[in-house]
Amino acid sequence: MGLLWATCLQAQELIPYRKGDKWGFCTPDKKVVIPPKYDDADDFHEGLARVKLNGKWGFIDTTGKEIVTPMYDDAGFFHEGLAGVKLNGKDFYIKIFPDGKVVEYYDE
């Protein structure tokens, strides 16, 4: 429980910041945690932040590790374990399992 709490606390404390035309993440006291390299970045939700690189969206964790490589044309935030994404004109959801496996869910 302690590690989970620390991860949640850290995610809440990280905020996107811009340096030049690139985005990274820092603490409220401006300590850089994830150096700016992204074209766009959003807040963390459920331990993951969506980031844009070379026109594609993906997700990173609070250490900056790419959990989902930027490959989607659009991506929403994670909510209750799912994030809406768009790829090649198709809308669907993704879920990331603890082992890192990404599963896609389509509405039929």
How many angstroms from the chain centroid is the CA of residue 95?
12
Residue 3 pLDDT more than 90?
no
Extract the tokens encoding 95: 């879920």
The SS3 assignment for 79 reads strand
**Domains in the chain, number:** 1
45-69: pLDDT as tens digits: 999 999 999 999 999 999 999 999 9
pTM above threshold 0.95:
no
Tokens found for residue 69: 């490589």
Domain holding 40, by residue range, is: 2-105
Instruction: Please give the C-alpha separations between residue 64 and each of 41, 58, 87, in angstroms, as whole numbers.
Output: 12, 12, 23
Q: How many residues does the chain have?
A: 108
